[in-house]
A and B are shown apart, each in its own frame.
Chain A
Amino acid sequence: DAKTTQPTSMDCAEGRAANLPCNHSTISGNEYVYWYRQIHSQGPQYIIHGLKNNETNEMASLIITEDRKSSTLILPHATLRDTAVYYCIVRVLETSGSRLTFGEGTQLTVNP
């Protein structure tokens, strides 16, 4: 799976948009971009995933650049509960299963 690079930490003011970047310059055509987050002392939680097109769900939006070498996860109105480590994962979908390889992620701190 392609390697990803994320900033170690970011801060965001409550109520503002949080934009979390991820670089994946070696991504292949059949690799998807996934985002998970892990709130302290909990298991990771799926947020969103995409291949080429931008995606939006009730939690966040995922913007993937046209060359697919980078992406941005957007939390439109961050709350204190969004404080967590956010993982950007690039992975190929295998017919026999699908592994997630977690990196170090970005520690997002939402401040009041």
Chain B
Amino acid sequence: DAGVIQSPRHEVTEMGQEVTLRCKPISGHDYLFWYRQTMMRGLELLIYFNNNVPIDDSGMPEDRFSAKMPNASFSTLKIQPSEPRDSAVYFCAGGYGSYNEQFFGPGTRLTVL
């Protein structure tokens, strides 16, 4: 298994543009998590899914952020419109069961100019 796959690995965009981050979790994992990491705020949980259903999106900063999981093998995190303060590394993680380890992807480094 290739592990959690995220794309793109790096994204540079201009303020106001739409950004879509993609995640392919490890096959068989029934939980999927989106995190954001910045120097100021550290690693924050944005939203997580169980069996493709969003369970807790309380960490999503604003309505500009949305996440979907149309099937067990794919999830997206969309920012529309993007702002410079959205610049961060976004991680996708997956896991099986409610207490097992989470497997993180390599992250997407987003820069909004």
- Whether B99 lies near A98 (C-beta < 8 A) is yes
Chain B interface residue count, CB cutoff 8 Å, equals 23
Whether the pair A96, B55 counts as a contact (CB closer than 8 A) is yes
* Residues A44 and B91 in contact, CB atoms below 8 Å apart: yes
Complex interface bits, B98-109 against A, C-beta within 8 A gives 1, otherwise 0: 110111111100
A residues in contact with B103, CB < 8 Å: 46
By the criterion of a CB under 8 Å from any partner CB, how many residues of chain A are at the interface?
21
Known contacts A96-B50, A99-B48, A103-B42: does B98 contact A46 (CB below 8 Å)?
A: no
Let me know if A43 and B104 touch, CB within 8 A. yes
Q: Mark A86-110, 1 if CB is under 8 A from B, else 0.
A: 0100000111111111111000000
- Within 8 Å by CB of B42, from A45, A94, A95, A102, lies A102
Instruction: Please state if A98 and B31 are interface contacts (CB–CB under 8 Å).
Output: yes
B106 A43 Cβ-Cβ under 8 A = yes
Determine whether the beta carbon of B48 is less than 8 Å from that of A97.
Answer: yes
**What distance in Å separates the Cβ of B46 from its nearest Cβ neighbour in chain A?**
11
A97-B98 contact, Cβ under 8 Å, with A43-B93, A102-B42, A104-B42 = yes
Which residue on B lies nearest to A96, using beta carbons?
B55
**CB distance B106 to A101 under 8 Å?**
no
